[in-house]
Amino acid sequence: MMGLLAAFAALWVSAKNLFRPMTTTPLPWKGRRDLPERYRTSFALVHDEHGDEACIGCKMCEKICPSQIITVVPGGRANSEKTGKPRGWCKDFTLDLNACIHCELCIQVCPADAIVMLREQDTPGFSREDLFLSMEKLYANEKKAPSWGTGARLIGMQEPPKPPKPEAPQAEAPKAPAEGATS
């Protein structure tokens, strides 16, 4: 008998839930949930403020990537047509999203803020090639909504601005492209 009463308590709970608002959001093509600022899915390569491709081919992301899915072919040093200043260039950049674990480390180490993650829900691909991001696809992704995180912001969050001493991270950055260019 007590069991029956307890069963009614459970029935009451489930009946109460009939009138709660739904917690699932409709399928992706019917609407999207609000994505937080730091949401991270796919990747994009961006242009810098002068309109040049921001990637300097330093291979930092390639080295830090735990799944080793990034391949950077550095393009050597050359003068930028926009600014006239010498800088490193990237000849080819591929990222295999099939094996990506979305750890955001490549974003964090990028000294040029060239690679960002997207604040968009992933559109699934129909083949493995769809998830293999070539340089063109990465630059095409630039038009999509980027995530909050860039190299400078992530580093800035972890290292609050300090007086002169910790110049080391900034000092490293220019060195890297040179290294990339010679290799």
Structure tokens at 142: 């630039």
Dihedral (CA of 100, 103, 104, 109) sign: negative
Residues 43-82 that bind another protein (CB under 8 A): 60, 63-66
Q: Among residues 72, 93, 115, 147, which is the contact residue for another protein, using CB under 8 A?
A: 147
Q: Which is nearer to another protein, 2 or 182 (CB)?
A: 2
Is residue 161 within 8 Å of residue 151, measured between CB atoms?
Answer: no
- Give the residue carrying structure tokens 């000294």: 111
- Is 174 a binding residue for another protein by CB under 8 A? The answer is no
- The CB-of-136 to another protein minimum distance in angstroms stands at 26
- Is 124 a binding residue for another protein by CB under 8 A? The answer is no
The strand pair at 115-117 and 43-45 is best described as: antiparallel
- Is 103 a binding residue for another protein by CB under 8 A? The answer is yes
- Is 15 a binding residue for another protein by CB under 8 A? The answer is yes
| Count of beta carbons in the 10 Å neighbourhood of residue 150 | 21
Q: Which is nearer to another protein, 74 or 149 (CB)?
A: 149
- The CB-of-65 to another protein minimum distance in angstroms stands at 8
Q: Which is nearer to another protein, 51 or 169 (CB)?
A: 169
Residues within the interface to another protein (CB under 8 A): 2-4, 6-7, 9-18, 20-24, 26-27, 36-40, 60, 63-66, 101-105, 108-109, 111, 117, 147-149, 154-155, 157-160, 166, 168-169, 172
